[in-house]
Amino acid sequence: MDSTSRMVALLAAMRRQRNGAVADGMRCYGAACGLNYGVSLPTLRTIARAETPDHDFARLLFRQDVRELRLAALHIAVPESLTVDEAEFWAAGLCNSEIAEEAAFALLHRSPVFPQLFETWISDRRPLVVYAASMAAVRWPAAPIGWCEAAIGAIVRWAALVERGEQPDYAVRLIAQGAVALSAVLGSRNEESRLTVLRAAGRGGDAPALLFLREELAWRLER
């Protein structure tokens, strides 16, 4: 079966699980895909994981403006085949927060090159790329404590961009959510890490996103 036929068969399997109510009730930041069958994430993951991993096929799926195919691609891709050079291909396809989260969960944190990607993506000019970097870092077992400072620094930069009207409000909210998740994980390792995270969170001014970060960490890292 060639790649096109395989894609058609996969799409047919997704269509059989379509759910208009789920599609109508979806809430995510960013742009919706052109076609959305409303397949639930657990069902979609089951269907995608039944496919043989194939990086080239995954890239073909990720090019499609179909929610289910783009999400499935992240499970069919081979993490070991992800390279720094092709990272922009995946970054460009992160059109909304659902896909960014699934990229972090299914592909990014499993790739051996993720530490290199994090350093680049956390400073990206696209909020969904920054968000994906933080959410993948949450699952990276050897994440250095310095990643917390990078994620918090991203909040500072994006809060200024939003204040100037250069980026939408949702951008800094997403980035703050990602920074909270990462900071909470890193700060829970030991007392030294907890204090490092709290010190980092205390810097950068009083933008609403930073106040949100501090409030969240105050109870998540409470002793």
In tens, the pLDDT along 61-110 reads 999 999 999 999 999 999 999 999 999 999 999 999 999 999 999 999 99
Of the pLDDT bands very low, low, confident and very high (cuts 50, 70, 90), residue 23 is low
**Amino acid (1-letter code) at residue 97:** S
Q: What is the DSSP string of 163-196?
A: HTTSS-HHHHHHHHHHHHHHHHHHHTS-HHHHHH
Place of tokens 């990276």: 140
Of the pLDDT bands very low, low, confident and very high (cuts 50, 70, 90), residue 25 is low
* 120-126: long-range contacts, CB 8 A cutoff, minimum separation 24: 120/84, 120/87, 121/87, 121/91, 122/147, 122/150, 122/151, 122/154, 123/150, 123/154, 124/91, 126/91, 126/94
The residues near 109 (Cβ < 8 Å, ≥ 6 apart) are 136, 137, 138, 139, 140
Please provide the average confidence, as pLDDT, over all residues in the chain: 93
In tens, the pLDDT along 151-160 reads 999 999 999 9
Place of tokens 């990086």: 55
Q: What is the pTM of this model?
A: 0.94
